[in-house]
Homo-oligomer: A and B are copies of this chain.
């Protein structure tokens, strides 16, 4: 029986509100067992880019990352957000260590191929060095990953944080029994997008396919769910989707995904 490892991903709604972040990090510090945190950067990067006179271009909710935008992302995700989370976790006696995919060569990626759209310095994950990351975990450090990877040739890439979380979860499932948490602004996956109480409690891959055909899931949720079922079919034990308190309060509503 493999030891449990929790991989927890938080989105912009958690990072952008310092009170919400503080509460989340307290809950994260109380989460039992070995764990990894993954965060994006959200509107903070857009805000700082704008102040620096760099226009943020989004297509289908994805950021087009030119050289200037990559610099801002490296500053905001890899510096400002990551190091403040690490310092706050240290104050909670979690021995946190902030990382990009370049650090210890943990996550490599390659530039997303140009089809209709050139996303610029956006990388699709190629490999996760689960043995290198495990050296940190075995040393009782708690890795905190931001949404940046590299190509092992000196180039950093902006990379989707949901994907980073699922790829880390898949890679580490060779060594651990992985529970993957996605914390976002809703209470879970909803049957009716406007009804916060319509949380789907449990969903297996069969139900998912049926509901997808029925058009239940909106455009923002579909790639998240694809990510989750990809993780489940690649070695991850369970996926939980809910608001940030899902990691500490199993009484509340949230969605559990399984194969």
List A residues at the B interface (Cβ < 8 Å): 48, 51-53, 71, 74-80, 82-84, 86-88, 90-91, 95-100, 102-105, 132, 135-136, 139, 141, 148, 150, 152-156
Q: Are A152 and B91 in contact (CB under 8 A)?
A: yes
Known: A87-B154, A91-B154. 6 other contacts (CB 8 A): A75-B75, A79-B80, A86-B100, A87-B155, A95-B105, A136-B139
Also in contact, A90 and B48, with CB within 8 A (given A79-B80, A83-B74, A84-B74): no
What residues of chain B lie closer than 8 Å to A97, measured between beta carbons? 99, 103-104
- Oligomer copy total: 2
Q: Are B102 and A87 in contact (CB under 8 A)?
A: yes
Q: Which residue on chain B has the smallest CB distance to residue A73?
A: B79
What residues of chain B lie closer than 8 Å to A78, measured between beta carbons? 78-80, 82-83
Contact of A86 among B80, B83, B95, B103 (CB under 8 A): B103
Q: Are B91 and A95 in contact (CB under 8 A)?
A: no
Contact of A74 among B74, B79, B135 (CB under 8 A): B79
What residues of chain B lie closer than 8 Å to A87, measured between beta carbons? 100, 102, 150, 154-156
What residues of chain B lie closer than 8 Å to A135, measured between beta carbons? 139, 141
What residues of chain B lie closer than 8 Å to A153, measured between beta carbons? 91
Contact of A51 among B53, B91, B100, B139 (CB under 8 A): B53
Q: Which residue on chain B has the smallest CB distance to residue A108?
A: B90
Rounded to whole angstroms, the CA-CA distance of A97 and B77 in the bound complex is: 16
What residues of chain B lie closer than 8 Å to A103, measured between beta carbons? 83, 86, 96-98
Q: Which residue on chain B has the smallest CB distance to residue A52?
A: B51
What residues of chain B lie closer than 8 Å to A71, measured between beta carbons? 80
Rounded to whole angstroms, the CA-CA distance of A155 and B100 in the bound complex is: 21
Contact of A80 among B75, B139, B150 (CB under 8 A): B75
Also in contact, A102 and B83, with CB within 8 A (given A51-B52, A52-B51, A91-B153): yes
Q: Are B75 and A156 in contact (CB under 8 A)?
A: no
Q: Are A100 and B75 in contact (CB under 8 A)?
A: no
What residues of chain B lie closer than 8 Å to A53, measured between beta carbons? 51
Listed by A's residue number, 15 A-B pairs whose Cβ atoms lie within 8 Å are: A52-B52, A74-B83, A75-B80, A77-B79, A78-B78, A86-B100, A87-B156, A90-B105, A90-B152, A90-B154, A91-B152, A91-B154, A95-B132, A96-B103, A97-B103
